[in-house]
Each structure stands twice: as C-alpha cells, then as structure tokens.
Amino acid sequence: MDKKDVKRNLFDHSSAKVRLLSEYLKRYLNIIANDPYTERIKIYDLFCGEGLYDNGGEGSPLAIMRCVKDLHFANVAKLSRIVPIDCHFNDIEGKKVQKLKSAIKDKSLHYDKFGDLSFSSDDYKNQVDNLKKLLPTLHKQKVFVFIDPYEYKHISASDIKSLLSQKHSEVLLFLPTQFMYRFDKKGTPQALKDFIEEIVEYKKWRENENNSSWDFVNQLKEAFREYLGVHHFVDTFTIEKDQNTVFSLFFFTSHIKGFEKMLEAKWEIDTEQGKGWNYTGNPPSLFHAFKTNPLEEKLKVFLRGKQRTNGDAYEFTLRAGFLPKHANEVFYNWQNNGNLEVVTRNGERARKGSFYIAYNYYRDDCNKVSFRLK
C-alpha cells in the first residue's frame, strides 16, 4: 500500500482507531459533563491531519467534534449547566489544518456555544512544551490529549509523564508497533533504543525471540506501568491486521473511573475479549484459547491465601483489563459452588450476590465486604 494512499484515505485499521476514540469520548465527556466540580474540558489532537479523507472516511478531529456536538445537544434538554468543551487541533502541515477547518465548517460541527475551537500548525514538541506550562494553571478543568504521531521518534515517555503529572489529564497514544517490534527483532535502531531506554533499562528489555508483535506490545505496556508507577493506569487497544501486523493504542490516566470508561469502550468493540479489533470482524471467543476463564485464573491467584476487600477486587479487575461485571460473574459462580466466602466488615455473612465491586463503592466504601476463597 502506497504511503500516499494511507495519508489520503481512511483504511480499516484507522477506522477502528477512530471508533475507540469516539466510544471513549462518549463515556468520558458524559461523566465530566455531569461532574459538579468540573467547569471546563479541553481536548487536544496534536497530529490531527485533515480530518476528511478522499474515500469519505472521517479522522480523529471530526470524530471529536461529533462527540462534542452530540453531547451538547443531548445535555441542553436535561442539564441546567452545560460544561464548555474547548478543542484544539494541531498538525505541522498547514494545508491539512486548512482542510480540517473547511470540513468542520461544511459539516456544521461547531458552534461558539460548544466552547472554544482553535488550530495551529506547529511542531509537536512545541505543543507539548506549551501544554506542560498550561496544565498547572488549569483549575477545575479536565484535559484529554490524543497523540497519533507520524513516526514514533516524535514521542518520548517523559512527555507522557509530564502530561499526566497534574492528575486532571488523560492521554491516548497511538504507536506503530507493527514496525517497532520488527526492528526490535532484527536489530534496534537508535530511535527505538532511545524510546525504550527512557522507560526501562535497555539491558532489562527482553529480546523478541518469538518475533511476536503481541510480545512486544505486552512488554511495552508493562514497562510503561512500571515507569509511571502505581498511581497511574495503563492499558492497550490492539488493531490486528494479521498475526504479525498489530497496531496499538496506549491509554494513560491517573483516575480509575476514566480507566474503567476506556475499558468499557474496548469491550464495546471487542465483546469477547476486550482486547482489540481484527480485520475478520470475528474475534475468537473468550474461552477459545483458554480452558478456563482467564480472569477467573487471575482472581484465584489474587485471593489465594489472602482476604481481599471489594475495593481491592475492583482495582485488581480493572488493572487486569476486565470490567466489574466480569468479576461479579466469577464471584457469583464461586459463591453458588460454595467456594467463596463473603463477609461484611462486622464479620457477618453478606447477602448472597452482594459483592459491591463498583466505582462508587471503591470511592466511598472500599471495605464494605471482604472475600476469601475456601
């Protein structure tokens, strides 16, 4: 496929990427719009492109604007307070930005009452530096940053860490892992080595002996988790063209509720595994490659010999890439089989089926019950 075709047309893998962005923003913006503490939302697309492609496909900036528009008109009818949403689109190629402006205008995707709309044709590094200075000055505001670079050499882990440092921002990063893992196997170019070494000591990086894009993505995800620390959440959404061609979106946040919303978006697209999207449109069953439910096995290890609270179980489930409903299903089966003991903080047996694995209990009553495997 010609590189010019990729730039001028929106193909399936890019469409899947945009869909994840849309599914997440629907959930994220709806939560913030109903949050009494947030007075403004800012969205940044730092490699926005022209938005509308020759084959009619719509890229990330148009998807963002549609989400903002839909939310505004949905909330006009039910909310007395509408949170303004500012959108900023940047691309170093000025012609693309001009085309994007025209596309937004032609499709009537923005009105002043939505919030501020701004554009720039600037180098990515300058944009990130500006954001680093801006973030500490924002009060009662939430920030979402989408980064879809033309090449991974533009990206550094320290930039991601800086963008997350104020605790009120989230980052969705696309990485061309289908190219990165091949370099990793055949020999690591300096740009990739520099990228990896910023996250983890290169001598600790495992050589990709199986020539597997999946091994590379998982190792990179774990490295990001260790680099950012326990107060941040990291997960991936994979877009599989074939076994050896896998694109990856990495999501970063310090807020567990935002993390849950991203996982919901993933499971909306991949209802069987919550893993990603492939070109067949038919992901394998959750049980296809496993004799048992993978979350069940993880929870067995988590609970083995220990008593865990509902708050512990909620966070563990999300970090494992699953949703509370999945943990509830496992616990319900265990309880029915007499394998799980659930007790209240007073030491009394909890009502059957009452596990309290949800964000509101995690926030307000994380020790409501505890679990022990028999």
CA dihedral 326, 328, 329, 331 (to 10 degrees): 120
pLDDT greater at residue 259 or residue 291? 259
Please state whether 85 falls in left (phi above 0), alpha (psi between -120 and 50) or beta: beta
Q: Give per-residue pLDDT as tens, 151-209.
A: 777 788 999 999 998 889 999 999 877 767 666 555 667 777 788 888 987 777 776 66
Alpha carbon 127 to its chain's center: 21
The model's pTM: 0.88
For residue range 63-116, list pLDDT tens digits in order. 999 999 999 998 887 876 789 999 999 999 999 999 999 999 999 999 999 999
Which residues, at least 6 apart from 141, have a Cβ–Cβ distance to it below 8 Å?
38, 39, 40, 41, 42, 168
pLDDT at 283 over 50: no
- What is the DSSP-derived secondary structure letter of residue 349? B
For the chain, give the mean pLDDT. Answer: 86
What DSSP designation does 308 have? E
What's the CATH architecture for 3-278? 3-Layer(aba) Sandwich (3.40)
Angle between the 294-303 and 324-336 helix axes, to the nearest 10 degrees? 70
**In the prediction, which pLDDT does 275 show?**
62
Torsion of CA 364, 365, 366, 367, to 10 degrees: 160
Q: Is the pLDDT of residue 238 over 70?
A: yes
The whole-number pLDDT of residue 144 equals: 96
Count Cβ atoms within 10 A of the Cβ of residue 365 and give its class: 0-12 exposed, 13-18 middle, 19 or more buried: middle
**Pairing state of beta strands 233-242 and 276-278?**
parallel
At which residue do the structure tokens 């941040």 appear? 232
Please tell me the predicted confidence (pLDDT) of residue 222.
92
Q: Of all helices (H) and strands (E), which one includes residue 167?
A: none
Taken as a whole, the chain contains a residue count of 374
- The answer to whether residues 48 and 89 touch, using CB atoms and an 8 Å cutoff, is yes
Query: Average pLDDT for residues 219-238, to the nearest whole number?
Result: 92
Q: Which phi-psi region, left, alpha or beta, contains residue 24 (left: φ > 0; alpha: ψ -120 to 50)?
A: alpha
Does the pLDDT of residue 10 top 60, yes or no? no
Which of 86, 189, 216 lies closest to 145, judged by CA? 86
DSSP secondary structure string for all residues of 80-97? S----EEEEEE-S-HHHH
Tell me the pLDDT tens digit for each residue of 112-159: 999 999 999 999 999 999 999 999 999 999 999 999 998 777 788 999
Q: Coil, strand or helix: which one is 50?
A: coil
DSSP assignment of 238-300 equals EEEEETTEEEEEEEEES-HHHHHHHHHHHHHH-TTTSSEEETTS-PPPTTTS-SS-HHHHHHH
| pLDDT tens digits, 309-333 | 999 999 999 999 999 999 999 999 9
* Average pLDDT for 5-24: 70
β 169-175/141-147 pair status? parallel
